[in-house]
Structure 1
Amino acid sequence: MDILGIDEAGRGSVLGPMVIAGVIVPEKMDKVLERMGVKDSKRLTPNRRTILSRKLRKMFEYEIVVISAREIDELRANGINLNEIEKNAMESIILKLKPEKTIVDAVDVKAERFQENLCNDTCCNVVAEHKADDKYIEVSAASIIAKAERDAHINEINMDYVNFGGIGSGYPSDPTTKKFLTNYTYDEMPDFVRKSWATVAKMK
């Protein structure tokens, strides 16, 4: 059975896009992924993620959805919360790749509810669990692709804003990210800033 793993990167970031990736792993390929060193992307160095992501993209069918900071702000302004934004992206990946089975990292506090909604909306066999990226190698593979894609976007922004000292990882806890937001004195924050985030709103 071919299994589609789906995961995201950048959900809680204040800067940059949220990236959702899906990768189809054919039956009996899990051992190959284990030998490659595939695991939850958070347990890998950025360089290792990049290398593995390139290999995975060459080996398997995959799909990536990149949702910009501006899109996130606009959707939230229209009453669509982050869970719905991510769920809609997952649905688009499932409907495009048409897998026999899908495993996703649940974004709802109630994983069963999230699973049921995805099953109903896609007519697909879906398993949704918390920390699925650490339990299922298919989701680990998706997490690597998603994180490497987001890393590339953040690296590009860092290069563009090197004279500002860079933007860091884009997460609110990052001192470089905090410094960038605090020291950016122009009238309007750049498009890669999620202006609807509380971290940014407090600075207005």
Structure 2
Amino acid sequence: MYLGVDEAGKGPVLGPMAAAAVLADPSDLPADVDDSKRLSSKRRESIDAAIRGADAVGVGVAFVEPAEIDRPDTDMNTLTVRGQARAVRAAVDGGVDIDEPIRVVADAGDTSEARFARRLGEFIADPGSEVDAPPAVDVSAAHGADEEDPLVGAASVVAKVARDGRMTDIDADYPAYDGVGSGYPSDPTTRSFLRAYVDDHGTVPDCARRSWATCDDVLAAAEQSGLDEF
């Protein structure tokens, strides 16, 4: 038994980043588990349900909210490590009996795989965190691990489904608009939502990552429009 961990939603301008960890024997995973980016939404949801429904599988999910992402004293690499560490600890605390050191395999969120693995191990073991420290862990990280390792692939699916669920909830929070879209800056629906919201309220919504350049662009465009009308 070992643990795979990955995250989804590093780049969107709306909504949280989701990190997920899956603790299991690979033989207990669905046979067609794969990197979430290579699966349809329907298949991801089916695999997520199968993973969560397996008694011998531990699952942990953690969200890094926009307010934390926007803090000036952090960066995306640190946020990714922090989110993954929270997910690992949640999976370990999820009720699966563990009586040996845990091998953790992570999708590296840093240009240096070794640095990411070292920092992730430190965050997992941090006694100041809100969850009791797990048993000893042996952490490795690799770029593309979500494509090569079944546990990391499973974690990528769980993280993606969790983030998609949060985006569905966020969409429901703004019934006056024509949807919030995927939350990614390249999504025309997301950009239209931001422009409309700023036009109505003069600021971006709480679900937005205010430090993202997309928010600056929308606010600047709204300000210029107001000056033109004046």
Please classify the TM superposition score into its range, dividing by the shorter chain length.
0.7 to 0.9
The counterpart of 1:33, out of the listed 29, 32, 45, is 29
* Structure 1: 5+ residue stretches without partners: none
Return the letter of the residue paired with 2:51. L
Q: 1:163 matched to which residue of 2?
A: 176
Computing the radius of gyration from Cα coordinates, the structure with the larger value is 2
Q: 2:204 aligns with which of 173, 176, 189?
A: 189
Q: Which structure carries more relative contact order (alpha carbon 8 Å, separation 6+)?
A: 1
The aligned residue for residue 203 of structure 1 is 218
| C-alpha distance in structure 1 between counterparts of 2:84 and 2:142, whole Å | 14
Distance 2:42 2:173 in 1: 20
Q: Which residue of 2 aligns with 1:19?
A: 18
Question: Counterpart amino acid of 2:77?
Answer: N
Pairs within 5 Å for 1:136-147: 136-147=149-160
Query: Aligned in 2, Cα 1:156/1:118: closer, same or farther, shift over 3 Å?
Result: closer
Q: Give, in whole Å, the separation in 2 of the partners of 1:72 and 1:117.
A: 18
Instruction: Count residues with an aligned counterpart.
Output: 196
Distance 1:188 1:101 in 2: 45
Q: Work out the CA distance in 2 between the residues paired with 1:94 and 1:183.
A: 38
For 1:162 and 1:45, locate their aligned partners in 2 and report how far apart those are by CA, in whole Å: 27
Return the offset for 1:120.
4.7
For normalisation by structure 1, the TM-score amounts to 0.88
Percent identity of paired positions between Structure 1 and Structure 2: 37
What is the alpha-carbon distance in structure 2 between the residues aligned to residue 34 and residue 118 of structure 1?
A: 27
Cα deviation per residue 1:24-68 (whole Å; 9 max; x = unaligned)? 022x51xx5352x21111111212211211110111111110122
1:86-165 matches, within 5 Å, as 86-96=80-90, 97=92, 100-121=102-123, 122=125, 124-165=137-178
Q: What root-mean-square deviation, in Å, do the aligned CA atoms of Structure 1 and Structure 2 show?
A: 1.8
The question of whether the paired residues in 1 share the 8 Å contact of 2:204 and 2:215 is answered with no
Equivalent positions of 1:11-90 (< 5 A) are 11-26=10-25, 29=27, 33=29, 35=31, 37-59=32-54, 60-73=57-70, 76-77=71-72, 79-90=73-84
Gaps of 5+ in 2: 93-97, 126-135, 220-230
- The 1:92/1:175 distance shift into structure 2, 3 A limit, reads same
SS in 1 for 2:44: helix
Between the aligned partners of 2:52 and 2:30, the Cα distance in structure 1 is 16
What secondary structure does 1:125 align onto?
strand
> Shift of residue 95 of structure 1?
4.1
TM-score for both structures, normalised by structure 2 = 0.79
Question: Cα offset for 1:141?
Answer: 0.4
| Partner Cα separation in structure 2 for residue 13 and residue 188 of structure 1 | 18
CA-CA distance at 1:88 after TM superposition: 1.7
Q: Deviations over 1:112-165 (max 9, x none)?
A: 221233345535211101111111010010011111011111112223334311
